[in-house]
Amino acid sequence: MEAGNTGLADAIDDAQLQNGIAARNVSHLLFTLSGNDPTRVLQSSLQNYQGAIAQTTVGICVAAHVEFVHAVYEKVMVNGDDG
| pLDDT, position 70 | 95
Q: What is the pLDDT of residues 2-59, one digit of tens each?
A: 467 888 888 888 888 887 888 888 899 999 999 999 999 999 999 999 998 999 999 9
Does the pTM surpass 0.75? The reply is: no
Interatomic CA distance for residues 54 and 23, integer angstroms: 9
Q: What is the mean pLDDT of residues 58-77?
A: 94
Residue 82 has pLDDT above 70, yes or no: no
Residue 60: CB atoms within 10 A of its CB come to 10
Q: Any idea where the domains of the chain sit in the sequence?
A: 6-79
